[in-house]
Amino acid sequence: MSMELRTITSEDFAAVGELIYDSTNAWYVASGRPPIFTGPKESTQLFCRVYDQIDSGNCILAVSESGELAGSCFYHPRSTHVSLGIMNVHPNFFGQGIARKLLKHITDLADEQQLPVRLVSSAVNLDSFSLYNRAGFVPRMVFQDMLIDIPETGIDDPSVSQAGVREATAVDAANMAKLELELAGIERENDLRYFINNDSGIWHVTVSEDAAGQLNGFLVSVYDPGSNMIGPGVAKDEETLIQLLLAEINQQRGRQPVCVMPAEATQAVNKMYHWGAKNCELHFAQVRGAWKEPRGLIVPSFMPETG
């Protein structure tokens, strides 16, 4: 079946939101698990709005001859790489090569600019793992998605120092970007500025700095009916990551956010268990093209994507 590929416009937001909701939930239900999106159907339009606010037009759509929206994929070109965000095909169109076409559109853009493509994909979803793996993506890092039920009173852990931990302000954005480049090898100052500015009121950003005022890490969280996550962030070491986690957890009192934890951060993962977190999924960071071992700990997010 022939498919037109075209760029998203604001008139597509409702249909794309519905596609994300139906496609992702269909996969979870078919895998014997409860649906992942449980808010109202409009809630997943959040993906369209966030990408539009950061840098509009970064979503490619597949539309059938009869005008049906068959697939969508968000992406984000940055100076160091191209990131691939949530990819969805409508269940009526599964297995017809639509995701492969959308993916090729994005990898062609990256190839023109000689940039690697990075994404975070579920390690338990063989449909998406295979799609990316066959297109040249290599799994590089393992993450465990930890769901944490935060009491209304928050979590008090006197063993975790909050010295040097504070809310980020606009002047931190450049140093946060520098730190992320140093630790994770990616640059995206624009996104970091967007989180700190928080025009939509759904973001919160904490930084941790040493006694000399040098940043050791930062961590973002988001709360909206379409997404409740702790991340993205980076940290120089486990102690910093634990400090940042506790600070952001206490911004999300009474909620149940998910945090995509780097599996090698065993002390931080154990702290999360101690605070009551449970594993709910596994993810791989996958990279097509150049990749360097990170020099710190990375907490990715799905919206906007990092990893």
The one among 59, 86, 247, 285 contacting ligand COA by CB under 6 A:
86
Nearer to ligand COA, 57 or 97 (CB): 97
- C-alpha 48/C-alpha 193 separation (Å) is 18
Q: Does 82 bind ligand COA (CB under 6 A)?
A: no
Does residue 302 contact residue 149 with C-beta atoms inside 8 Å? Answer: no
Q: Does 260 bind ligand COA (CB under 6 A)?
A: no
Cα separation, 103 vs 62, in Å, equals: 11
299: left (phi over 0), alpha (psi -120 to 50) or beta: beta
Decide if residue 63 touches ligand COA (CB under 6 A): no
**Scanning residues 8 to 37, which ones bind ligand COA (CB under 6 A)?**
23-24, 27
**83 is a site residue for ligand COA (CB under 6 A):** no
**In whole angstroms, what is the distance from residue 228 CA to residue 34 CA?**
17
Q: Give the CA-trace dihedral at 295, 297, 303, 306, to 10 degrees.
A: 20
Applying CB under 6 A, the span of 119-127, 177-185, 201-209, 241-249 interacting with ligand COA comes to: 119-127
> Shortest gap between Cβ of 68 and ligand COA (angstroms)?
14
Enumerate residues 129-148 that contact ligand COA by CB under 6 A: 130-131, 134
Indicate which single residue of 8, 46, 50, 98 sits in contact with ligand COA (rule: CB under 6 A): 98
Instruction: Enumerate residues 6+ apart whose C-beta is below 8 A from 64.
Output: 1, 3, 70, 93
* Interatomic CA distance for residues 9 and 190, integer angstroms: 21
95 binds ligand COA (CB under 6 A): yes
| Binding span for ligand COA by CB under 6 A among 46-54, 127-135, 228-236, 247-255 | 127-135
Which amino acid, residue 127?
D
Q: Kindly state whether residue 61 participates in binding ligand COA, applying the rule CB under 6 A.
A: no
Site for ligand COA contains 285 (CB under 6 A): no
DSSP 108-172: HHHHHTT--EEEEEETT-HHHHHHHHHTT-EEEEEEEEEE----TT----TTS--TTEEE--GGG
Interaction between residue 229 and ligand COA (CB under 6 A) = no
From candidates 97, 136, 151, 254, binder to ligand COA by CB under 6 A? 97
User: Nearer to ligand COA by C-beta: 94 or 291?
Assistant: 94
Look up tokens 């490619």; give the residue: 60
* φ, ψ at 98 (rounded to 5°): -70, -45
The distance of closest approach from Cβ of residue 287 to ligand COA in the complex, given in angstroms and rounded to an integer, is: 15
Q: What is the DSSP letter of 62?
A: E
Q: Which is nearer to ligand COA, 136 or 276 (CB)?
A: 136
Nearer to ligand COA, 164 or 304 (CB): 304
Closer by beta carbon to ligand COA, 227 or else 251: 227
- Which one of residues 8, 59, 89, 235 is an interface residue with ligand COA (CB under 6 A)? 89
Considering the rule CB under 6 A, would residue 127 count as an interface residue with ligand COA? yes
User: For residue 116, is the peptide bond before it cis, meaning its omega torsion is within 30 degrees of 0?
Assistant: no
Beta bridge pairs of residue 236: none
**Residues found near ligand COA in the complex (CB under 6 A):** 23-24, 27, 86-89, 94-100, 121-122, 125-128, 130-131, 134
